[in-house]
Structure 1
Amino acid sequence: MPNILHHGGATGVTGSCHQLVLNGEHSLLVDCGLFQGDDAREDTFEQLKIEFDISTLKALIVTHVHIDHVGRLPYLLAAGFKGPIICSKPSAKLLPLVIEDALKIGFTRNAQLIERFQAQLESQIVSLDYHQWHTVVDDGDIKTRIKLKRAGHILGSCYVDISHQDHTTRQKERWVFSGDLGAPHAPLLPAPQSPHGCDHLVLESTYGHRTHPNRENRRAVLKRAIEQALTNGGTVMVPAFSIGRTQELLYELESIIFEARKSRWKELEIIVDSPLAARFTQVYRELKPYWDDEAQARLKSGRHPLNFANLYTVGDHQEHERTVEYLARTGRPAVVIAASGMCTGGRIMNYLKAMLNDARHQVLFVGYQGAGTPGRAIQEYGPQGGWVELDGERIDIKAGVTSISGYSAHADQTNLLDFVKRMRRWPSTIHLVHGERAARLALKAELEAMYARKGKPVSIRNAS
């Protein structure tokens, strides 16, 4: 019967890559992500090389297009993988943009090489509708089908339902890979619905030890942080992933500005300083049919949640440098959303270096900050009046630092437990992945207690 091999994301929150070995001849790969923060070794290139056996690999299944789930895809193709890359239809539109950016950062800026690689990538993409069964292996001995279901994490995200039949032993098994599950009531996206049931569940545990504030609370925190900057005459710097978090924040900011009666809110500039985020936002607009009912209602009322009057985008690098210098010098109140989400590079770094030591400004974290990243250091030491090293430079943190876990695109402990609880047939084996040790241990304890209350047996693995 099938067994699972982890090539990343088993004991950390990045590098997700899980191989489901169906038998000696066939296997599937779920995600192939990049390592970041403490998960990344100094010998980065060696860590990224695909050194596991791909000769049996029949398909790569992409749960969503965040870089920690797809960033090693170029290395997989370079290793000779020519099989289908299966994803949802929205992900099929977003994936080439992500990989183009990854190629420019980690591989080459040669336009011809990138174009050739992109052509190969697009020839291998197989996009599926949600809830559509798709056969990946049927050779007489085994038949394996997959179905993608909405995960509510970012646009196009899915969890993977795998039905496996072994005709030689007449055994059937159901596997579910959660990918990254979203939180209920997230902007733009419908909440994930649990599957009917499964035998084996591979479950993310990023926030397995925490619960998020509700949406009204987190919107209030967001509003307060911006009010503080407006009062101080400063900029709110928001490190955010180009895809997902940026668009959700724009949606919430449009709502706050629309409802605000104060003129200074009406005049507040919302600046997206990321060409990639701007491109993603455009694709998000094109994928309106995948938005949730609340977002659809806003559109029908004539509002434009991702394209409102106060929204500005920064284009080339010269414009970026002028924007940093202008905001740092004048203290004009503004909200700047820029990548990267964990402050490991990108345009947010120049804002931080220019403004982090000035008390007029605010840093607002709206997503998970991995251990070992500059974002985690600012988050931990900023409220204590500490310092952080950015590009070899020590910078004292005088700006305000606020974290809103409620804007995380990840499910919290309650949501993860509910994902299992709402199945009619609970899994007998749960593999906890994509979480730091404390989160996995806390979720393991809660799951075991939940099973014990129902008198159900369970084996929970990879939690040590």
Structure 2
Amino acid sequence: MKITFLGAAKTVTGSCYLVETKSCKFLVDCGMFQGHSKEITLNQEPFPFDVSELSFILLTHAHIDHSGRIPKIYKDGFEGTVYATHATCDLCSIMLPDSGHIQEMEADWINRKRERAGKHAIEPLYTYQDAIDCISLFKGLNYGEAVKINDDVKVRFNDAGHILGSAMIEVWVTDRGDETKLVFSGDIGNRDIPILRDPSIIESADYLIMESTYGDRLHDDKNNRVDKFIDIVNEAVEKGGNVVIPSFAVGRTQEIIYDIHKKREQFEGKLERLLDIPVFIDSPLAISATEIFRKNLDCYDEEARQYIENGDNPLDFPGLQFTKTADESKELNNRKDSIIIISASGMCEAGRIKHHLKHNLWREDSTILFVGYQAIGTLGRKLVEGAKKVKLFGEEINVRAKIQSIDGFSGHADRDDLLSWVSRFNRKPKKIFIVHGEEEVMETFSELIKDKLGIETVIPDKGMSYVIGGGKVIQSMEKPEISYQFKRLAVIELLETMKEEFNELAEILKTDMKDEKEDFEIDEIRIKLRNLEKQMVDVLR
């Protein structure tokens, strides 16, 4: 058996693992890359295998960095089955078409520029219709049910507690008479998060493929996240500003609604004031996802079920409003009163959130509140890391709003919860493959596992293959035939670095404006930049 790591290897996005046995080939996840331009470019690259030879896909959950290239692989000729939980199938039926719509809009925007430059048009990664059509391949499975896919592969989906329908997948592979058990953790959820059950405990594994998103830190505000949320909102309202929450349409949005609802009786003074503030869910996708949450009650924890059995709706409260149309969304930015806007996307890369940021980032009285992970290279990450200026719709915006984060709302387990989850295996894995994390985080988490649990770890590179058999793991000596290793990606990475360095130089010069520098120093910088500009023009030609 061979496993090839095609995504989420030394990065957080693009989850995709190819498993090859003597009788079949299958993927675990088929996610989209997000963040830096060099990452996004990977989405356009052909799959490094014959798509027609792929038997099936096992999908851990509906988030786009795990599911987002399923319409592309369908468009390229994949006709097998996509196995996922029932709730994940429901969520993908709205999330993938929404992604297809975004792909079409982005291609249209690029093509308008290319037409003006006399260049040929490009196709979207996939269309809305491609995404609609690929849903016919999905087959829902129950949590805890062992299912034989074929003579050599058996699977079981277990609750990962990350988002509605999320799963960690046990895979038993019989290859040349030997049975090997793989466990793919998917994204492991926080314990004690609203609505969802805690992550399942897995009893045994031969090999574990494990996420490490927060493998080097703790969620310090997990127990007081609602208190902190209320304080942040009240502070913004006292100043007369808005609170803008870039939130993933599926998961965080519903949890925030639930948490406010649940705690409304515990914070009489503070919360009464908060409940007087209009709260707008400004994402058509979040509205549809909330309906799916209401439908899949079997995924709820005991507390949330009790609310529902008592006739209470834990996904609603006074003052909560949903904006469906673009005109309703635009009207939010014309209001004079303080409001809370919860809008996708959670990393500020697409959707209505960018318009709300454009109207609020420059306001000293407003607050931008992050409640989820921000991938490197995304607008959300830049804001969290203290960017003073950002570009939105071609316009440079000064960041004067207060930027806040509450990690306690994160859907990812932190360092201690990840270690605790692994420690509860009765039969420990022989080896753990660390994936889905930033490289430095992976290295830290890898050392922690070795030191505290005594389990050997591997941090795979993109495209690297490992042969598993006879109780051993052998790194394949084959050079991965992956087109995204082409040198142009290195050029894109260099350009990204240069862009950051140019911005840094501009900030230094602005800061030094009042300082008395020698004229020759400024002239030297100007001459060097002029020469560089000429060289850049030559490159573009």
| Structure 1 residues 229-258: Cα deviation after superposition (integer angstroms, max 9, x where no partner) | 121121110001111111111111223434
Offset of residue 315 of structure 1: 1.4
Structure 2 residue 144 is the aligned partner of structure 1 residue 131: yes
Q: Distance in 1 between matches of 2:392 and 2:435?
A: 30
Match of 1:370 among 367, 375, 378: 375
User: Measured at CA, do residues 459 and 347 of structure 1 come closer, stay the same or move farther in structure 2, by a change above 3 Å?
Assistant: closer
Partner of 2:493: none
CA contact (8 A) 2:101 2:128 kept: no
Partner of 1:59: 56
Structure 2 residue 66 is the aligned partner of structure 1 residue 69: yes
Q: Distance in 1 between matches of 2:428 and 2:421?
A: 10
Partner of 2:308: 299
Offset of residue 333 of structure 1: 2.2
Q: Distance in 2 between matches of 1:324 and 1:289?
A: 38
User: Measured at CA, do residues 248 and 422 of structure 1 come closer, stay the same or move farther in structure 2, by a change above 3 Å?
Assistant: same
Offset of residue 264 of structure 1: 2.2
Identity, in percent, stands at 32
Match of 1:27 among 17, 21, 25: 25
Q: Distance in 2 between matches of 1:403 and 1:463?
A: 31
| Structure 1 residues 53-100: Cα deviation after superposition (integer angstroms, max 9, x where no partner) | 334321111100001111111110011110111000111111111111
Offset of residue 42 of structure 1: 6.4
Q: Distance in 2 between matches of 1:258 and 1:229?
A: 22
Structure 2 residue 214 is the aligned partner of structure 1 residue 217: no
Structure 2 residue 356 is the aligned partner of structure 1 residue 343: no
CA contact (8 A) 1:342 1:370 kept: yes
Give aligned pairs, total. 442
Structure 2 residue 225 is the aligned partner of structure 1 residue 183: no
Partner of 2:35: 37
Partner of 2:402: 400
Match of 2:239 among 229, 232, 239: 232
Q: Distance in 2 between matches of 1:116 and 1:317?
A: 21
Partner of 2:122: none
Q: Which amino acid aligns with 1:278?
A: I
Offset of residue 125 of structure 1: 1.2
Q: Which amino acid aligns with 2:346?
A: G
CA contact (8 A) 2:275 2:318 kept: no
Offset of residue 297 of structure 1: 2.1
Partner of 1:361: 366
Q: Distance in 2 between matches of 1:45 and 1:67?
A: 12
- DSSP 3-state at the match of 2:51: coil
Q: Which amino acid aligns with 1:124?
A: L
Q: Which amino acid aligns with 1:272?
A: I
Q: Distance in 2 between matches of 1:421 and 1:155?
A: 25
User: Measured at CA, do residues 16 and 403 of structure 1 come closer, stay the same or move farther in structure 2, by a change above 3 Å?
Assistant: same
Offset of residue 289 of structure 1: 2.6
Single out whichever of 338-347 and 114-123 deviates more from structure 2: 114-123
| Structure 1 residues 8-31: Cα deviation after superposition (integer angstroms, max 9, x where no partner) | 1111111111111123x4122011
Offset of residue 308 of structure 1: 2.0
| Structure 1 residues 354-402: Cα deviation after superposition (integer angstroms, max 9, x where no partner) | 11111111010000111111111111115xxx22222332211111111
- DSSP 3-state at the match of 1:80: coil
- DSSP 3-state at the match of 2:183: strand
- DSSP 3-state at the match of 1:395: strand
Partner of 1:434: 436
Q: Distance in 2 between matches of 1:230 and 1:216?
A: 24
Greater Rg by CA: 2
CA contact (8 A) 1:441 1:463 kept: no
Structure 2 residue 20 is the aligned partner of structure 1 residue 15: no
Offset of residue 196 of structure 1: 0.9
Gaps in structure 1 of 5+ consecutive residues: none
Structure 2 residue 274 is the aligned partner of structure 1 residue 272: no
CA contact (8 A) 1:381 1:387 kept: no
Gaps in structure 2 of 5+ consecutive residues: 109-125, 463-541
Partner of 2:489: none
Q: Which amino acid aligns with 1:234?
A: G
Offset of residue 307 of structure 1: 2.1
CA contact (8 A) 2:423 2:453 kept: no
User: Measured at CA, do residues 340 and 119 of structure 1 come closer, stay the same or move farther in structure 2, by a change above 3 Å?
Assistant: closer
Q: Which amino acid aligns with 2:94?
A: L
Alignment of 1:249-328 (within 5 A): 249-262=256-269, 263-326=272-335
Kindly report the root-mean-square deviation, in angstroms, between the aligned alpha carbons of the 2 structures: 2.1
Partner of 2:521: none
Q: Which amino acid aligns with 1:53?
A: D
Offset of residue 288 of structure 1: 2.0
CA contact (8 A) 2:375 2:381 kept: yes
CA contact (8 A) 1:96 1:121 kept: no
| Structure 1 residues 412-462: Cα deviation after superposition (integer angstroms, max 9, x where no partner) | 11111112100001101111111001110110010000233xxxx524332
Q: Distance in 2 between matches of 1:39 and 1:220?
A: 37
Offset of residue 302 of structure 1: 3.7
Structure 2 residue 352 is the aligned partner of structure 1 residue 352: no
CA contact (8 A) 1:187 1:248 kept: yes
Q: Which amino acid aligns with 2:44?
A: E
Offset of residue 211 of structure 1: 1.0
Q: Distance in 1 between matches of 2:8 and 2:249?
A: 21
Q: Please report the TM-score for the alignment, with normalisation by the length of structure 1.
A: 0.90
Partner of 1:206: 213
User: Measured at CA, do residues 438 and 120 of structure 1 come closer, stay the same or move farther in structure 2, by a change above 3 Å?
Assistant: same
Q: Please report the TM-score for the alignment, with normalisation by the length of structure 2.
A: 0.78
Q: Distance in 2 between matches of 1:89 and 1:366?
A: 26
Partner of 1:160: 169
